[in-house]
Amino acid sequence: MGPSSTTDKPAEPANQANGSQLLCCKSIDKLIAEADRPEHRLRKTLGPWSLTALGIGAIIGSGIFVLTGTAAAGEHFAVPSILHAQVLDLVINFLRTGSTAGALMHGRPPAGPSIAISFLLVAVACSFAGLCYAELASMIPIAGSAYTYSYATLGEIFAWVIGWDLILEYVVSNVAVAVGFSGYSKAQLAVFGIHLPDKWSSPVWASGGWTGAYFNLPGFLIVFILTLLLVRGVRESAEANNVMVLIKIGAILTFLVVGGTLVHKANWVPFAPSGFAGVLTGGAIVFFTYIGFDSVSTAAEECEKPQRDLPFGIIASLIVCTVLYVGVAIVLLGMLKYTTFVSGEAAEAPVAYALKVLGAHLVFRSVIVLGALMGMISSILVFQYGQARIWYAMSRDGLLPKLFSAVHPKFKTPHWSTWIACFAVGIPAGLVDIGDAADLSNIGTLFAFVLVSLGVIFLRRKQPDRPRAFRVPFVPWFPLISVILCGGLMTGLTVITWLRFVVWLAIGLLIYVFYSRKHSEFAKNQA
């Protein structure tokens, strides 16, 4: 914020709320002042289009080339135990029958071509949370995203919980993507006669057993190489991401043009084979392809004009991705009947499969492969970037050791946080395939969306006169809609995902009690 924003009203003191350190809210003015200290200052180089590219880089991974077919064809499966049943399925079956047994056999009806409507509806749902992020990001242009917003609006304990939650979200998500990148690149190299040894290109532990591999080297190396780039500087990282995003968008546009010439209108009939139920359940599958726009807010302190550019980057990235998702869905489901994508290669890589079956030129198919790889790499880059900034913000507030907030004297990046994030992701990516544990990133993201939406309501009540460069319309209704939608989607996750999430939060609370609470600035003030 410029100087005028802190002179419009007296700076709020960083006092304790209700006499309890747990509910202390940090002054927004104090957060901004601390970020401007020379020892903590990050280099401000990002503009609106770089922020938009960060959002697109995080949102569009390989999912656009994979999940569209799965959501259109539907799913039907038996889960091995109650732990792998969806929470919502259990509740509904219990209310209907007085038993949870029916939840062990469930699925999702096919959406067919109407999956395009699912993408639109999900975009609307995400936009409510996106608007809340945009308001808080313009008011509190500080690294840390939902963690910082919670500290300024809800209190220290909420800030710690969401910060600890975001650590889980970013680490788990990038481990899953790095393992996926290794497998995908290995398969594509084999097409050209280059065979990586299984011992050095496969997880050591997968599907509940040892694989006999030594280390998944490609999964580790991609994280390591991107870390070198991130430490070097945010400008260099943003420029590399811009290039990858352009390649990725180019691949999608190539598919839309080439695939558009292979569309048969008869494949769009019936448009919604399962009615509105199929549209809704399809939306539940594709919702998680939109996760990532919140990573734009982690770049707040390296943004040249955050009050203007952060809301632009968040909203523009959502709009661009929605247009691309809807376009891919319409073209893909016009190329082949939705029933084609039920299983096998058609389900695993529907876009590449459709081009191959319909005889598209090898050059166009190679462009799609390149686009999928760029999608994975840019996703890892943006999430590693955001992860280091969250650790940096938590350390600056005393909740993590000071090492995490050290800034490189030359590159002006949080280099220690970035390297620690590298090994926190790279080593697990070399050892394990986390499989269904990847859902932890989804529950973590949705939990963050809920707290950010509540933060908008609390801050409107506590500081109604504070200048807001961007305002969510119809408060508190829009934030409450976001809370309800995100909470509902959390119930669609499995019981074991909830249990893992609770265990992770319990570990975090122990760390808070025995370390973070004692090193917080509020603890020092109290002393």
Share of the chain above pLDDT 90, in %: 46
Distance CA 313, CA 56 (A): 9
* Mean pLDDT value across the chain: 86
16 or 117, which is more confident?
117
Mean pLDDT of 111-130: 91
Least confident range of 58-67, 148-157, 181-190, 322-331: 58-67
Q: Which residue, among 291, 309, 292, has the nearest Cα to 300 in the 3D structure? A: 309
162 or 71, which is more confident?
162
Least confident range of 176-190, 229-243, 474-488, 500-514: 176-190
Sequence spans of domains, the chain:
4-74+109-526
**Has residue 167 got a pLDDT over 60?**
yes
- Contact call for residues 415 and 408 (beta carbons, < 8 A): yes
**Tens-digit pLDDT profile for residues 436-466:** 677 788 888 889 999 999 999 999 998 898 8
Pairing of strands 75-78, 205-206: unpaired
The whole-number pLDDT of residue 524 equals 66
- Contact call for residues 56 and 64 (beta carbons, < 8 A): no
The whole-number pLDDT of residue 290 equals 85
**Tens-digit pLDDT profile for residues 296-329:** 888 888 888 888 899 999 999 999 999 999 999 9
- Contact call for residues 439 and 494 (beta carbons, < 8 A): yes
The whole-number pLDDT of residue 14 equals 46
**Tens-digit pLDDT profile for residues 411-425:** 889 999 999 999 999
Mean pLDDT of 227-244: 92
**Has residue 288 got a pLDDT over 90?**
no
The whole-number pLDDT of residue 43 equals 80
Mean pLDDT of 255-268: 94
Q: C-alpha 223: how far from its chain's center?
A: 17
Q: Is 469 helix (H, G, I), strand (E, B) or coil?
A: coil
The whole-number pLDDT of residue 480 equals 96
Mean pLDDT of 259-265: 94
CATH number for domain 4-74+109-526, candidates 1.20.1740.10, 1.10.274.10, 1.20.140.10, 2.60.260.20: 1.20.1740.10
Q: Is 44 helix (H, G, I), strand (E, B) or coil?
A: coil
Q: Is 341 helix (H, G, I), strand (E, B) or coil?
A: helix
What phi-psi label fits residue 275: left (phi over 0), alpha (psi between -120 and 50 degrees) or beta? left
Which tokens go with 247?
Answer: 């390649």
Distance CA 312, CA 479 (A): 19
